[in-house]
Amino acid sequence: MRIGIYDLAKIVLPFNPYKFFRVMIEKNDEFVSGQPLTTDNAAEVSPSLLTNAIDKAIVKVRPMATPLDQISRLGHVRTVDSMEVDFYSVDSRADRDIIKSCKAAQGVDGSEEVIFMVETEHPSRFEVTDTFTLADNPAGCMYYILAKDAAGTLTCAILSEDPESEEPLMSGQEVVRMGRAATQLDVQTPQFAALPTKRSNLCQIFKMQVEQSLVMKLSHKEIGWDFTDQQEAAVYDMRLGMEKQFLFGRKGKVFDHLKQETVTFTGGIWHQAGKDVSVTLNGFDQKALVDMLCAVFSDNSGSRRKVLLAGRDLISALNKLDHTHVITSRDQVTRWGIDFSELQSKFGTLYVIYSDIFDTMGMPANGMVIDPEYIQKHVFIPFTADTLDLRGSGQRNTEAMVLTEASCLTLRYPEAHARIIGG
């Protein structure tokens, strides 16, 4: 589909003014009076009208080549008022921990019951009334937390049907937090609070200028190559650069002494992901695929539908597998305007697409699993197409247009996204 930027710039025209005024009155209780309807006052009354329409046109330009940019435009988009974006991310509370030390003690009030004083590596993961069990023997004893002191030491009672089967807690053992248990008279429980981690990213100003001389415009061409084709190619090239930056960019600032201005660079989501999953491509088999899917979908608070962007070597290894009743494959599934291959497993569904960005960056064996539900796009300057009057200003006898967007991507719930490291 061919889309010209002049078409995008004029996208405000193909709507009925009467309907537009009616929408403004119904939704904003505002109207334009005593002046013509222009893009300026339209944007003032309905700021998302123009930018949303342009974005919907932009995503039709070669979506398969820039899947991350495509998904982010059609996902969660937030307008910001600063080039520096602060955001908070939080993951679910970990439910496993390691015992540092444990000693038996006499029961409360001199009772004969044996209790345990337990210290763990992360005391904040447990509270009074929590229960836990041993990770390597979940069918064995269970422990109930009676008290917790200021140092984080847990006072625990053991629960077992057979006293002879009771096993002592020892340092180095891994325990799993279970459910809370309250008495009949309990009204309150220890408070639970998930404290998010504050992070930041910088919006980067992406620009692309398209220019054509008036003589070139009037000259006869053997093929139908005109300014519209150049505009589409410019949008594609701009999105390709944004795709690389959104994936692998490094956050930072540089002061340009020639321009006397600070240039900001956005950080890519590759550096924001919360986990690494290593795979060996030599001899990659069904078991290795199951292990990879297990690592991707487990131990996080993400959704059960995720996207894998991968280089050629990783895609090749996946294509050589014979799919079984455990993991099924569908050749083509269309989501966000992109054609994916689909892997369905008991852990979740993985949409797979080849991204030659990984090849370009020298990482053909690597990939990245993203959770589209937890990608946030922050936009400081929405995608705009501005016409430059270079002839009127006496600079050049050309038609010119500048494409601009200032934006960045951030990840909520970093553990829901993973770097796939192929070796």
Rounded distance, CA 162 to CA 251, Å? 59
Mean pLDDT of the residues in the chain: 76
- Check residue 242 and report its DSSP letter: H
**Tens digits of per-residue pLDDT, 285-332?**
888 998 999 999 987 767 899 999 999 999 999 988 876 655 777 778
H/E segment holding residue 101: strand 96-106
31's CB contacts (< 8 A; 6+ apart) are 21, 24, 25, 45
Q: Residue type for 287, please?
A: K
pLDDT higher than 90, residue 270 = yes
Kindly report the length of the chain: 423
CA distances from 139 to 132, 166, 167 (A): 12, 12, 12
**Tens digits of per-residue pLDDT, 85-108?**
876 655 556 678 888 888 877 766
Q: What pLDDT sits at residue 213? A: 57
Q: What pLDDT sits at residue 121? A: 87
The bridge status of strand 305-310 relative to strand 349-354 is parallel
Q: Which two tokens stand for residue 352?
A: 């797979």
Kindly state the average pLDDT of the residues 195-205.
78
Higher pLDDT, 230 or 217: 230
| Residues 314 and 343 sit within 8 Å (Cβ to Cβ) | no
- Radius of gyration of the CA atoms of the chain, in A: 29
**Tens digits of per-residue pLDDT, 220-269?**
444 343 446 677 778 888 888 999 999 999 999 898 888 888 899 999 99
Alpha carbon 351 to its chain's center: 15
Paired with 139 in beta bridges are: none
What is the pLDDT confidence band of residue 191, given thresholds at 50, 70 and 90? Answer: low
Q: What pLDDT sits at residue 111? A: 62
Alpha carbon 134 to its chain's center: 34
Strand-by-strand arrangement of the 275-279 sheet? 275-279, 418-422, 367-370, 305-310, 349-354, 338-344, 328-335
pLDDT higher than 60, residue 52 = no
Higher pLDDT, 394 or 368: 368
